[in-house]
Amino acid sequence: MNIMYKSTRSDGDKVTASQAILKGLADDGGLFVPDSIPALDLPLAALSQMNYQQTAYEVMSRFFTDFTEEELKSCIQGAYDDKFDTDEIAPLVKKDGAYYLELFHGKTIAFKDMALSILPYLMTTSAKKNGVTNEIVILTATSGDTGKAALAGFADVPGTSIIVFYPKDGVSPIQERQMLTQKGDNTTVVGIIGNFDDAQTGVKKMFNSKELAERMNAKGYQFSSANSINIGRLVPQIVYYVYAYGQLLKKGEITEGEKIDVVVPTGNFGNILAAYYAKNMGIPIEILYCASNENKVLYDFFHTGKYDRKREFVLTSSPSMDILISSNLERLIYRIAGEDAEKTKNLMDALTGEGEYEITAEMKAQLDSFASGYATEEQTAETICNVYKKTDYIMDTHTAVASHVYYDLAKENGRKTVIASTASPYKFTRSVMDAIDKEKYDKMTDFELVDELHILSGVAIPNAIEEIRSAPILHNTVCDKNEMQATVEKILGL
């Protein structure tokens, strides 16, 4: 079956997968969605026999139907190799009855690597397929993890360059150092005076500017996005949910067809949407738990049907989830609106204009496969400490938000539950070690804490951390949130 992609905001022409990947965002500001979600027409038992790369091919070939088998397989081989520190790519670790799907074994030790390892391959293949000769400028807003993962993926990839905006005071010291030490002649990192939502809004504005696009084109450039609004990021994220189900079967933890639950620590709603797509492809997932931190705009949405971003932005110990405008929710809204682009556009315009929207009861009724919980800062720290004391397993702050929601809501269902473990604890050592023993660790530097974490957990210090200990700072640009476009124009010489 041929899958085409359409915008969530108007019923314009459909595009192929490779065109959608190249564009990132639709011309009308909408997000690309597949015109149907393909079924994974395979016996579930077959999944248990497949490795990560084979699973990736099965999933991606159903969505990216204009790629040849050879093209896709070459993208997959290039992406999921020994950049990952384990052959399993995404190992499933059982602790205290729950299954932690560790998505942080890639180059930058956060789950963003799962998709951003392959996006540059998908992007350059798409460019070739569509005869694009412009240089592709990847413009990215990051709450900390996407930035580094995208930089690592696109560094020195011919025909591309990448500009990353991050909130100067909104990321962890290790996250910032990871980005500022990034090598590659085609990379630029810019700190903005503002928060993640400001960064994301600024980037979307540039994408939507026809005038800017024309000036770019005249100079041989075109934008694309490495954010999870790009369908080329979303689809590779479906893979690990399918893989996790196969692994549970393989290990004899479930029987074929047995329903499982999934808990996902959520920010921009990309990861959990991928789980929802996996469910819609036919993976037996019963409930998807959307776990929020104190920026619990999604928790409120699932409980009331009202999305309201007019609230204080809280800086938490899980910064990659400090988000009040969850972009990917638009894809779910479109679906529960009966694929009504006009209705979706009106709601999204209301969010931009009035800062809120409310869905109808009819739409809300279609959210029955979702549940939602949240963790306060205190609960997040308690969860890290409790699970460590009980099992010796040390998780990062984002995973802990999800783990709290597991203990709080999901556990009592009795179904086997997969918790998306989105970052290595080494990425958030300060918060993690403080959660375990604040008095003892408070006075140590972040890198001393790395060594302490190693002693406590016995887990090898990842290469990503060793690398930045002594690496020189290569980027130092800072701008106001209102100067993002001017900064891009300067970088590109427009």
Tell me which residues touch ligand PLP (CB under 6 A): 110-112, 145, 228, 265-271, 320-321, 398, 422-423
Q: Count other C-beta atoms under 10 Å from residue 258's C-beta.
A: 15
Sequence-distant contacts of 331-334: CB under 8 A, at least 24 apart:
331/8, 331/31, 331/33, 331/234, 331/273, 332/269, 332/273, 332/276, 333/8, 333/359, 333/363, 334/8, 334/31, 334/33
Report the candidate in 258, 243, 354 with the shortest Cα–Cα distance to residue 308.
354
Please report how close the Cβ of residue 234 comes to ligand PLP at its closest, in angstroms.
Answer: 9
Number of H helices, E strands in the chain: 22, 15
Is 112 catalytic? The answer is yes
Contact yes or no for 193/477 (Cβ under 8 A): no
Please, which residue, 272 or 336, has the CB nearer to ligand PLP?
272
**Shortest spacing between CB 402 and ligand PLP, in angstroms:** 8
Q: Helices marked H in 92-136 — which ranges?
A: 112-116, 119-129
CB 87 within 8 A of CB 71: no
To ligand PLP, the closest distance from the beta carbon of 344 in angstroms equals 19
Nearest to ligand PLP of 112, 430 (CB atom): 112
Do the Cβ atoms of 29 and 205 come closer than 8 Å?
no
Tokens standing for residue 465? 């951390």
In terms of CB distance, is 169 or 362 closer to ligand PLP?
Answer: 169
Closest to ligand PLP by CB, 237 vs 417, is: 237
Residue carrying structure tokens 């001017």: 486
User: Who contacts 74 (Cβ-Cβ below 8 Å, separation ≥6)?
Assistant: 121, 125
Cβ 274 to ligand PLP shortest distance, Å: 8
Of 6, 23, 112, 296, catalytic:
112
Residue among 447, 357, 460 nearest 177 (CA): 447
Q: Coil, strand or helix: which one is 187? A: strand
* CA distance linking residue 312 with residue 304, whole number of Å: 19
Half-sphere exposure of 213 (CA within 13 A, CB side): 13
Q: How far is the CB of 321 from ligand PLP (least distance, A)?
A: 5
Q: Which CB, 15 or 420, lies closer to ligand PLP? A: 420
φ, ψ at 155 (rounded to 5°) = -55, 125
Minimum CB distance to ligand PLP, residue 197 (Å): 12
CA atoms of 426 and 355, how far apart (whole Å): 36
E strand spans, 48-97: 92-95
Distance CA 302, CA 372 (A): 7
End-to-end CA distance of the chain: 42
Single out the residue of 411, 419, 416, 429 nearest to residue 465, CA to CA: 429
Q: Quote the least distance from Cβ 448 to ligand PLP, whole Å.
A: 23
203 versus 249: smaller Cβ distance to ligand PLP: 203
Q: Smallest distance, Å, CB 428 to ligand PLP?
A: 8
**Rounded Cα gap, residues 231 and 5, in angstroms:** 9
CB 32 within 8 A of CB 26: yes
Give catalytic residue positions: 112
